[in-house]
Each structure stands twice: as structure tokens, then as C-alpha cells.
Amino acid sequence: MRIGIDLGGTKTEVIALSDAGETLFRHRVPTPRDNYPQTLQAIVDLVRLAEEKTGERGSVGLGIPGTLSPFSQRVKNANSTWLNGQPLDHDLARLLDREVRIANDANCLAVSEAVDGAAAGKALVFAVIIGTGSGAGIAINGATHTGGNGNAGEWGHNPLPWMDDDELRYREEVPCYCGQKGCIETFVSGTGFAIDYQRLSGKSLRGAEIVALLEQQDPLAELAMSRYELRLAKSLAQVVNLLDPDIIVLGGGMSNVGRLYQTLPTLIKPGFSAVNAKRRLCRRSTAIPAACAALPGSGRWPD
């Protein structure tokens, strides 16, 4: 049995898979925020719960919104900042009495989708998580490309390209946790979307609540979404020009906004990309990425 944990900024989910890849158990809990010991405990509790429910002991893999430094073996680049600097795999191995493998969640998503998900068989996959934060991962021929420093895919901390006057103001008002200003993550994460809506409306709502307003033709929600689409398109256009991926996969809470699969391709192609090759954009498939064993995909962008 394989146990995968997806440690998100808001939710932490466990999935237990049989050796044949069948889902035996899954469960999610809120992620304890700003507290490393409680985060460790939540992960340990989920593993124990999965083993209690299935009656089996499993190997454990963990997808995190950051990466382990290949030099210090400690977490870096996590937008769940209380993980940074911690020897997470070492601590979990001690608590669970077994090896625990950790990978960046967006890299897990890219590989999972490339192996048997929505990007199955594609040679070059760019996967983007647009949730509490924003991360990206690259899979080449079904394997992660992490880079010599573990930094590959840190696209979210490039500056937003082609900023207009309002985006320049946003850059000053909403600094990134990484210490820079104007990072793509601050604009295209679900958190960034909610902040922009708050700047427009004065109301503090969660992303899902704003999307619900969108369905009621709320003009400010529509304005926030059209700005969001343009920002995500500009940011992805740079990836297209650099990597020319065969497919871009979206995951995270904002990936559930169905219209993105119609609007983004239109915005990316004529507006911002020098390349005009046919490519596809799809929604992540349904399994959580940490187990790197996703189910067949959905929400594909038609050719």
C-alpha cells in the first residue's frame, strides 16, 4: 500500500492506494497554520488513520508547497512559511518509523498527470497549482525536472510581465512572502484573486464566494475575474515562449473555474505568445498528486 499526503496551504489530504492503484481510503483535514509541531502531528494522525481504516502499513510520500534543499535537506521556498528551514522528511521519518519521501506538490502534479492523468503520454508538461499560493512543476518524459538547486518551476516568483498602472500599484500594496514585490504568485494565486476583488469592492470574500458572485453576473466579480485571466495568461505566455510545453495542467482551487479553459488559450495565443503552435490546457485529474498515481483526466481543452 502507498500512502500519499497532499499538504496544502488550507487543507491536508491523505490517500491510501493499493499496489494495483485502487483508492482504499481518503480523508482531508484543515492544515494547522503557522505551527510546525501541529503540522507534523496532523500528518502523523492522517497516516495512522489511513492505516487503521485499511488494516495495512504503507509507504509514505508527501507533496509540499515548497521543496527540500538538495544541500541542507531542509524545506525552502514554501509559501506555508512555517515549514521553511525545517528537516520535514527527517522529523516525519522519526515519528512514523519509516522513510518518508517528499517532493514539491506541483512537481508531483506534473508527473502524476504525465504518467496516467490528463497529460498522459505528453513529453513536456507544465503544471500550475493556483490555490492558497501558486506553484509550478515541470515533467519531462514522465519524470520531474527539479534542477540542480531544486528551483525549477519557481515561475511564481518571477515578476508579472507587462504590468499596467494598476498592477504596478498592486505590486507596491501586496508584497510577496518571499521578500520580493510583483511576484506572479501574488497575482494568480486564489489569495491574490481575493485580494484584488477586495481592492475593487472593499469586501473580504473567499475565492469560492467571489466565483459564486460571478455566476450571478456580479460586475465587480466579473472585473476581478477578467483581470485575473489576463494576468494568468500573460504569465503562462512567458512559459510557452521559454519551454513550449505540449500541455499545461492547472490544479488548485482556482482550477475549478471552468471558463479558464476557454479564455486562457484565447488570451495566450494572439495576445502574448510569439508561438502559434497548437497546444492544450487541461484541468488536473481527480486524484491528489502526492501519491503520483492519478486517475484519468477531465476538463480537457479541445484541440
Q: Which stretch binds Zn ion (CB under 5 A): 154-162, 204-212, 257-265, 268-276?
A: 154-162
**Closer by beta carbon to Zn ion, 70 or else 175:** 175
C-alpha 157/C-alpha 134 separation (Å) is: 9
> Which residue in the block uniquely carries the three cell numbers 504503507?
58
CB 260 within 8 A of CB 250: yes
Q: Which stretch binds Zn ion (CB under 5 A): 13-21, 149-157, 212-220, 258-266?
A: 149-157
Applying CB under 5 A, what is the total number of residues that bind Zn ion? 5
176 part of the interface to Zn ion, by CB under 5 A: yes
C-alpha 247/C-alpha 253 separation (Å) is: 19
178 part of the interface to Zn ion, by CB under 5 A: yes
C-alpha 43/C-alpha 97 separation (Å) is: 13
C-alpha 195/C-alpha 78 separation (Å) is: 20
By CB under 5 A, the residues from 244 to 273 that bind Zn ion are none
Residues present in the chain in total:
303
**DSSP string for 269-285:** IIII-S-----EEEE--
Q: Using the rule CB under 5 A, which residue among 2, 26, 122, 157 binds Zn ion?
A: 157
281 part of the interface to Zn ion, by CB under 5 A: no
By CB under 5 A, the residues from 180 to 199 that bind Zn ion are 180, 183
The β-bridge partners of 127 are: 137, 249
102 part of the interface to Zn ion, by CB under 5 A: no
84 part of the interface to Zn ion, by CB under 5 A: no
CB 134 within 8 A of CB 189: yes
Least distance in angstroms from the C-beta of 175 to Zn ion: 8
Q: Which stretch binds Zn ion (CB under 5 A): 108-116, 177-185, 218-226, 250-258?
A: 177-185
Least distance in angstroms from the C-beta of 176 to Zn ion: 3
DSSP letter, residue 176: -
List of residues contacting Zn ion (CB under 5 A) = 157, 176, 178, 180, 183
